[in-house]
Amino acid sequence: MVPVMTQSAPSPRVTVWNEFRHEHENPTVRAIYPDGIHMAIAEGLRAQGVQEVRTATLDEPEHGLTDEVLAQTDVLVWWGHKAHGDVSDAVVEKVVQRVWDGMGLVVLHSGHFSKVFKRLMGTSCDLKWREANDKERLWVVNPAHPIAQGVGEYIELEAEEMYGEHFDIPAPDELIFVSWFSGGEVFRSGCTFTRGSGKIFYFRPGHETYPTYFHSGVRQVIANGARWAAPTASAPRAFGNRQPLETLPEDKQAAERSQEGFR
């Protein structure tokens, strides 16, 4: 049998965005993520072979998401929790527009309540939750999906914050992970969506008081998600008034009448 040759896609340019507030204000979080949650996520992406990774945080000018940064970002990874309301509406609009134009978006954990995700989903994105050191088992329900590559049957986290259904989001394009918690709840914890030309992946784990972003399986999924969400060659989106490609019947009739006038 002749082997099938495949060409790997280039590594995406990824920007990891984080509020970076808990790490300054909460000693427990600072002990787990002394350099910030964004740096742990970025480190995990690099360890998984994603070569171009930069970070941005809330208190930088324009939240670190200037026009230049966004133009150089193929995939934006978003972690937010306590300061969703502090994110500028102008920056939200820029991010949403970039997604519509093809930039990928990976939304993590409590980023479900971010202005960006809620705007793109068009729903409340609300859910049940509990902080009680629940065990979480994330079952792979779509093993053929690229985001599940290398994960195995499930990922097990010994302690995490619980999220429970109902999760008020639109029906996902694809469901990849379903979580079970030791308290008995279940949750759609790995969902994909398409908005405009952009691909979105929501991935549930990652409460700030747990070392979740050092877990090898979680890092694998985030890297897989970034590669999946990266822009691909596609037909350009075109809007507005357009001239016809073919001669319309009324134009043809007008031309015929004009010719008759010369006879």
Give the Cα separation of 120 and 100 in Å (integer).
Answer: 9
**pLDDT, position 171:** 98
Asked if the model's pLDDT at residue 216 lies above 60, the reply is yes
Q: pLDDT, tens digit, for every residue of 152-167?
A: 999 999 999 999 999 9
Mean pLDDT of 44-72: 97
Structural domain spans, the chain: 13-122+189-233
Residues 6+ apart with CB under 8 A from 188: 165, 167, 169, 172, 175, 177, 178
Decide: helix, strand or coil at residue 92. Answer: helix
Per-residue pLDDT tens for 248-259? 887 666 666 666
Give the DSSP H/E element, type plus range, for residue 145.
none
Domain 13-122+189-233, CATH class in plain words: alpha beta
Residue given tokens 């670190």 in the structure block: 64
pLDDT band at 183 (very low <50, low <70, confident <90, very high): very high
- What pTM was computed for the model? 0.91
Q: What angle (nearest 5°) sits at the alpha carbon of residue 139, between those of residues 133 and 144?
A: 150
- pLDDT above 90 as % of the chain: 84
The mean per-residue pLDDT over the stretch 46-54 comes to 96
Segment 168-183 mean pLDDT:
98
Query: Which residues, in sequence order, are CB contacts of 46 under 8 Å at separation 6+?
Result: 53
pLDDT at 28 > cutoff 90? yes
DSSP 3-state of 253: helix
pLDDT tens track for 106-131: 999 999 999 999 999 999 999 999 99
Beta strands 128-140 and 174-181, pairing class: antiparallel
